[in-house]
Amino acid sequence: MSLLGGTVTAEQTAAYLRTLPAIRERCGRVHELAKQGKLQYFDYHPEKEDDVADFCVNLMKVRDNATSSKSLTHTFMNEAPHGRWSHLDAGIERVQPLIAKWGAGAGPPDVKEQARRVLDLTLVSVLLDAGAGNVWKYVEESSGLTFNRSEGLGVASVHMFESGFFSGDPEQPYRADAAGLSKITPEKTAAAMQVSESNPMDGIDGRASLLFSLSKALTANPQFFGADGRPGNLIDFLESESRVDEGVRIVPIAALWHALIEGLNPIWPSRITFGGVALGDVWPCPSLGASVANPVEGDDLVPFHKLTGWLTYSIVTVLQRILNWKLEGIEDMTGLPEYRNGGLLVDLGVLSLKEGLLTINPKSGLPRVPPSHPAIVEWRAMTVIELDRLAELIRKKLELTPSQLSLAQVLEGATWKGGREIAKIKRPDTSGPPIEIESDGTVF
């Protein structure tokens, strides 16, 4: 095995597969196979990447009425980074008005407590953010607006948070803690999310199970979440891992990743255990395993940790916006391997499915498979590396550097929204992805 240039233990492999660098490294191996035409389910067409970059740039241009390359460049540079905050504010602002509401009350919380509360909301909202299906919608009573998919889940989570749904303290609804989360059931979650026979949601049991399991994880890891088992207490852990440079608090992204990957590990359903460790969002890729000379156990595994990555990006937004902290090493973060980013690649021809290998849903005429299927593993691995490549292409077209246009900004303003837009064009009835995933509420 090539991990350390020699024989390694299962425990070392498991530890490696839960690091940020492992995601890009293992996905990069799959990408190399694609260049050689050795994937089992997909053909790779790199000549189409420029079309995808143009589609994303033109989408931004139309969306923001950019009339020149200069104004378009300015638009991209000022794009908010990818994070849950933007979904919580779908249609109208909700987070800042919440913060203002707290400040207007008796004994207003200090800035750290504000950050703790928003982090509480962010974490539970991300865990609710798996694919909801093509039918479900959420109607916001106060605004009269209707939302579906990620925005609907985000808006619903805001109102659940305001009502004290996640809090174990009746005197303080604006928090999430182990006591409150331990009382969550599928029935309560379904009611709060307006789920009914006429408004069904995929994976409602999985969502509720994740939140219930979160209560146990918070209690089991006081070093990250404090004695009261609260997600927002990550603020205090990260402060202890930080340094101050010229008046700016600098937090290593590795510290945040470590806290999330270790502290939340118990909540993920057991799929693969390796070296005595439940790996979470890590999957076997047969085409990768077949490419390794003298393979050993674990050589075929590809880590994604999508929800951990999505949560990391989302928490970074909270730390930056509320506390003005700086995150160090954020370039190690990868693009998110989910169906919007991946769908963009399939719909615009960078990836094409090989004929006759996947089960077709007779209702939609689209392939439909579970997230564990090797085709989905190949698709997600390719998505991670292609997002890096697309980010470079977009920067080149706009004459920007990575410091001027981060991967997180590309994800928010270009690829994720691009994937959604092309899905609307290709499948206007559902706006769903080109490959249907049998969601259980715990992966996407």
Residue 433 lies in a domain: no
* 380 lies in the same domain as 236: no
Q: Find out whether 121 and 347 touch, Cβ atoms under 8 Å.
A: no
Helices (H), 185-338: 186-192, 204-220, 222-225, 234-240, 253-263, 286-291, 306-323
Where is 16: in which H helix or E strand?
helix 10-17
Whether 411 and 323 map to the same domain: the answer is: no
Tell me: do 59 and 151 sit in the same domain: no
Residue 365 in domain: no
Same domain for 75 and 121:
no
Residues 60, 134 within the same domain: no
Looking at the fold, whether 68 and 200 belong to one and the same domain comes out as no
Query: What is the number of structural domains in the chain?
Result: 2
Q: Using pLDDT thresholds of 50, 70 and 90, give the confidence band for residue 71.
A: low
pLDDT digits (tens, 9 = 90+) for 233-277: 999 999 999 999 999 999 999 999 999 999 998 887 767 888 888
Backbone angles phi, psi at 326, to 5 degrees: -110, 135
Residues 329, 231, single domain; the answer is: yes
Is 54 within the bounds of a domain?
A: yes
Percentage, residues of the chain above pLDDT 90: 73
- Same domain for 271 and 322, yes or no, is yes
* Residue 431: inside a domain: no
Asked if residue 434 is part of any domain, the answer here is: no
**Of the residues 287, 306, 335, which one is the last residue of a structural domain?**
335
Residue 251, strand partner residues: 327
> Sorting pLDDT into bands at 50, 70 and 90, what band is 1?
very low
Last residue in a domain, options 304, 335, 366:
335
Q: What range does the domain containing 395 cover?
A: 39-82+341-354+374-425
Crossing angle between the packed helical segments 111-127 and 95-103, to the nearest 10 degrees: 140
pLDDT above 90 (res 319): yes
Q: Which pLDDT value is given to residue 6?
A: 58
Residue 440 CA to its chain's centroid (Å)? 16
Q: What is the CA radius of gyration of the chain?
A: 21
246 domain-assigned: yes
Secondary structure of residue 366 in the 3-state scheme:
coil
Does some domain include residue 395? yes
pTM as predicted: 0.89
Q: Say yes or no: 72 and 17 in one domain.
A: no
Tell whether 246 and 383 lie within a shared domain.
no
Residues 174 and 272 in one domain: yes
Report, as an integer, the average pLDDT of 306-324.
93
pLDDT, average across residues 191-218: 92
Residues 314 and 408 in one domain: no
**Residue 444 belongs to some domain of the structure:** no
